[in-house]
């Protein structure tokens, strides 16, 4: 057994045989990792320790901190603020989606992952303020050298799965540089699933860099009197068709949440 699998085996020993840990990724025909933090027990559960610390573009998961920055700088008042459609956009990244190319509320833009809307907000924030807020939040590597407005999709601004979770923990604990009011808005907007048993807050992300697809699903699950923070990042070559790539971000994460009895 190699070192990476030894780490996995030790983490998941109570929940699943080591040979099952690669299965969700293999079934989806992707590479990647899932990182989970058990809030009550202060326990990290990882499928790949090295990958959990490796940075890459956060893609639309950046909307989590981006929303907070837009709120804190006063560019938007709340989640109901309307972002005006500029009339033109580059649709080459995700293809043409006519349902999002219109005046749209911040809440809708977050839920539908309307990238153009957050680019419009980013133009108003400016790199200097981003640099300050990101550094003070300990989010990402601070490299904002990318010239394009959506530096979170391309260029050298990177964040690791573990860093994503560390930031989410600070959000959950209301221990950030952002106001409690703005944190409350974010938490409300992030709700993607609510049942009698649990509440799930999350954000997906997908970008295409250097011939690869990079997919994210990050968030936290409030369930069974506990909170489970998670970050799954998967990758594949763009030249290899995989229609299930987007959904696999979630199915892989849910599988490991089930393995630790969080779901």
- Model-level pTM greater than 0.85? yes
- CA distances (Å), 98 to each of 3, 89, 151, 193, in order? 47, 11, 23, 25
Q: Is the pLDDT of residue 4 over 80?
A: no
Summarize the confidence of residues 166-191 as an average pLDDT.
Answer: 98
Q: Encode the chain in three state secondary structure.
A: CCHHHHHHHHHHCCCCCHHHCCHHHHHHCCEEEEEEEECCCCEEEECCHHHHCCCECCHHHHHHHHHHHHHHCCCCCCCCCEECCCCCCCCCCCCCCCCCCCCEEHHHHHHCCCHHHHHHHHHHHCHHHHHHHHHHCCCCCCCCCCCCCCCCCCCCCCECHHHHHHHHHHHHCCCCCCCHHHHHHHHHHCEEEECCCEEEEEEEEEEEECCEEEEEEEEEEEECCEEEEEEEEEEEECCCCCCCHHHHHHHHHHHHHHHCCCC
Structurally, how many domains does the chain consist of?
1
Domain region containing 161: 3-240
The answer as to whether 60 is a domain residue is yes
Identify the pLDDT of residue 92: 56
* Candidate from 14-18, 86-90, 127-131 with smallest mean pLDDT: 14-18
Identify the pLDDT of residue 95: 55
The answer as to whether 262 is a domain residue is no
Catalytic residue among 33, 52, 56, 60: 60
The answer as to whether 247 is a domain residue is no
Identify the pLDDT of residue 97: 76
The answer as to whether 259 is a domain residue is no
- Confidence band of 21 (pLDDT split at 50, 70, 90): confident
Is 60 one of the annotated active-site residues of the chain? yes
CATH number at residue 90: 3.40.710.10
Q: Is the pLDDT of residue 37 over 90?
A: yes
pLDDT in tens, 64-109: 999 999 999 999 999 999 999 988 766 555 456 778 999 999 999 9
The answer as to whether 132 is a domain residue is yes
The answer as to whether 158 is a domain residue is yes
pLDDT in tens, 240-259: 999 999 999 999 999 999 99
* Candidate from 19-28, 45-54, 161-170 with smallest mean pLDDT: 19-28
Identify the pLDDT of residue 10: 41
Mean pLDDT over all residues of the chain? Answer: 91
pLDDT in tens, 51-65: 999 999 999 999 999
Identify the pLDDT of residue 6: 36
The answer as to whether 10 is a domain residue is yes
Greater pLDDT, 12 or 3: 12
The answer as to whether 63 is a domain residue is yes
Summarize the confidence of residues 34-61 as an average pLDDT.
Answer: 97
């Amino acid at each position: 057994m190699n070192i990476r699998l030894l780490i996995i085996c030790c983490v998941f020993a109570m929940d699943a045989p080591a040979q099952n840990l690669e299965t969700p990724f293999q079934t989806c025909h992707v590479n990647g990792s899932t990182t989970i933090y058990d809030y009550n027990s202060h326990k990290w559960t990882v499928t790949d320790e090295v990958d959990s610390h490796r940075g890459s573009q956060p893609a639309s998961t950046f909307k989590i901190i981006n929303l907070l920055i837009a709120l804190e700088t006063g560019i938007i008042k709340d989640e109901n603020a309307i972002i005006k459609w500029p009339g033109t956009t580059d649709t080459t990244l995700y293809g043409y989606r006519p349902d999002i190319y219109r005046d749209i509320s911040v809440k809708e833009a977050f839920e539908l992952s309307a990238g153009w809307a957050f680019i419009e907000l980013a133009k108003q924030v400016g790199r200097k303020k981003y640099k300050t807020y990101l550094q003070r939040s300990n989010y990402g590597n601070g490299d904002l050298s990318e010239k394009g407005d959506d530096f979170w999709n391309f260029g050298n601004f990177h964040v690791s799965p573990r860093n994503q979770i560390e930031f989410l923990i600070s959000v959950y604990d209301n221990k950030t540089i952002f106001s409690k009011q703005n944190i409350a808005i974010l938490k409300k907007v992030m709700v993607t699933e609510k049942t009698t048993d649990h509440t799930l807050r999350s954000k997906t992300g997908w970008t295409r860099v250097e011939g690869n697809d990079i997919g994210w699903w990050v968030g936290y699950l409030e369930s069974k009197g506990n909170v489970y923070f998670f970050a799954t990042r998967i990758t594949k070559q763009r030249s290899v068709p995989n229609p299930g790539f987007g959904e696999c971000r979630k199915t892989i994460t849910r599988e490991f949440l089930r393995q630790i009895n969080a779901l």
